[in-house]
């Protein structure tokens, strides 16, 4: 388990590298954020929502909004703001008053328990609602664990087209979480 | 679908958006050009535009409109980032300026002309054209906000409305024959309020994430 204050510098460095295109650093960051978010979600949302659904929705938001973090600023306040925003959103959707939780990620212990395979989780259902190419690409890259190049070859698309489709698919997933029909 | 699979997909996605500040500048520029094209095709500056530049009343219409646009734009830059501090007091600048202009007007002209100047020549045109010239900037700013991370959608939409209305008002001011701060304080403010309300409503619908 990481002591509270070492992760700030490490996460900021990983995110900076990730924003510069370092895929391994970025993956490592997301892998470290998942248990931290799981701990936070368990603390705030126990009993109201499937914890792993929430962790996944927050990770998706972090990913899609990562360009709004200024690399010369501390990382955790940004991260906490995103996490709080999404968790309040989840509570609101579950019909509970979103009392603003005061603790941030630094106040809760990361939860390293390996989550149960949530094959029937929200994300699984939402991915299934993607259409055509987006469904194929997101499934290929996530469930099948294919690289961009492998997915491109399998689907007979250019790598550029796969990248664009993947990004659009992820943005579409975020809007499906919010219940947007369109 | 487990979280590791999701992380695979996220790490593979290297498409990112522009940094918020650059996106905001692009939106302001696009909005300015859009409003300008509409202005020059529909109205154009009034005939005595250049001569009017020596009148403080005429010049102050631009100063107050652009102060509004600029202060709202600065707040939009903050609203785009979830960890930025708010600085809402900046919005007091344009109203304070307007208050000063109105004070100068009522102390300089006899009471008998206050009402005629307030009513002006063409309040209806003001109420139509300022919102009309605000539409392109409003759309561009909402789009930029949508691609960032505003924590308060209604507020962010209202800010977009204020900035857009400031630009729209600055263009209309170049045509508008009424220069009295009394006219500006009533009709421009009303038009700005309409656009701000429109922005807030649009923000609620478009800026949630």
Among B192, B69, B35, B51, residue whose Cα is nearest residue B126? B192
pLDDT band with cut points at 50, 70 and 90 for residue A182? very low
Question: What's the gap in Å between the CA of A3 and the closest CA on chain B?
Answer: 23
Residues of chain B with pLDDT below 50 are none
Question: What is the 8-class DSSP label of residue A98?
Answer: -
In angstroms, what CA-CA distances link A111 with A9, A83, B138, B194?
20, 15, 44, 49
User: CB of A29 within 8 Å of any CB in chain B?
Assistant: no
CB B37 within 8 Å of CB B124: no
Q: Which helix (H) or strand (E) holds B34?
A: helix B20-42
User: Comparing A57-66, A85-94, B70-79, B160-169, which segment has the lowest mean pLDDT?
Assistant: A85-94
Q: Scan for tokens 């004070």, then name that residue.
A: B103
SS3 content of chain A, % helix, strand, coil (to 5): 65, 0, 35
Find the CB nearest B5 among A85, A143, A170.
Answer: A143
Q: How far apart are CA B64 and CA B60, in angstroms?
A: 6
Query: Which residues lie closer than 8 Å to A137 by C-beta, 6 or more apart?
Result: A151, A155, A157, A162, A165, A166, A169
What does the pLDDT read at residue B94? Answer: 97
Q: How far apart are CA A7 and CA A62, in angstroms?
A: 16
Which residues on A lie below 8 Å from B3 (Cβ)?
34, 52, 55-56, 59, 115
What does the pLDDT read at residue B11? Answer: 93
Q: How far apart are CA A46 and CA A49, in angstroms?
A: 7
CB B209 within 8 Å of CB A61: yes
Average pLDDT over residues A20-40: 94
What does the pLDDT read at residue B154? Answer: 97
Q: How far apart are CA B147 and CA B23, in angstroms?
A: 8
- CB–CB contact B14 A121 (8 Å): no
pLDDT band with cut points at 50, 70 and 90 for residue A181? very low
Cα angle B22, A177, B157; round to 5:
40
């Amino acid at each position: 388990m990481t002591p509270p204050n070492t992760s700030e510098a490490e996460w900021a460095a990983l995110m900076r590298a990730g924003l510069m295109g370092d895929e391994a650093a970025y993956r490592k960051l997301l892998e470290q954020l998942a248990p931290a978010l799981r701990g936070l979600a368990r603390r705030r949302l126990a009993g109201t929502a499937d914890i792993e659904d929430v962790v996944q929705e927050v990770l998706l938001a972090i990913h899609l909004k990562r360009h709004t973090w200024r690399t010369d600023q501390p990382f955790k306040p940004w991260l906490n703001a995103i996490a709080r925003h999404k968790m309040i959103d989840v509570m609101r959707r579950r019909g509970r008053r979103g009392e603003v939780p005061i603790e941030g990620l630094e106040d809760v212990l990361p939860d390293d328990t390996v989550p149960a395979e949530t094959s029937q989780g929200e994300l699984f259902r939402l991915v299934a609602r993607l259409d055509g190419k987006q469904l194929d690409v997101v499934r290929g890259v996530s469930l099948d664990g294919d690289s961009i190049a492998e997915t491109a070859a399998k689907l007979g698309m250019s790598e550029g087209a796969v990248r664009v489709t993947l990004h659009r698919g992820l943005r579409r997933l975020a809007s499906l979480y919010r219940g947007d029909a369109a | 679908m487990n979280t590791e699979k999701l992380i695979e997909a996220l790490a593979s996605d290297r498409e990112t958006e522009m940094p918020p500040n650059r996106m905001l500048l692009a939106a302001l520029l696009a909005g300015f050009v859009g409003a300008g094209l509409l202005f020059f095709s529909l109205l154009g500056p009034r005939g005595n535009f250049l001569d009017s530049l020596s009148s403080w009343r005429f010049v102050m219409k631009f100063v107050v409109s652009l102060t509004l646009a600029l202060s709202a734009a600065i707040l939009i830059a903050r609203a785009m980032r979830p960890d930025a501090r708010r600085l809402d007091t900046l919005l007091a600048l344009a109203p304070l300026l307007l208050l000063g202009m109105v004070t100068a007007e009522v102390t300089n002209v006899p009471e008998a002309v206050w009402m005629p100047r307030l009513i002006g020549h063409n309040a209806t045109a003001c109420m139509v054209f300022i919102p009309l010239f605000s539409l392109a900037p409003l759309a561009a700013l909402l789009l930029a906000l949508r691609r960032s991370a505003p924590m308060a959608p209604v507020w962010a939409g209202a800010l977009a409305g204020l900035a857009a209305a400031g630009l729209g008002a600055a263009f209309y001011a170049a045509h508008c024959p009424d220069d009295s701060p009394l006219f500006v304080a009533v009709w421009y403010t009303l038009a700005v309020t309409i656009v701000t309300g429109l922005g807030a409503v649009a923000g609620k619908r478009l800026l949630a994430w």
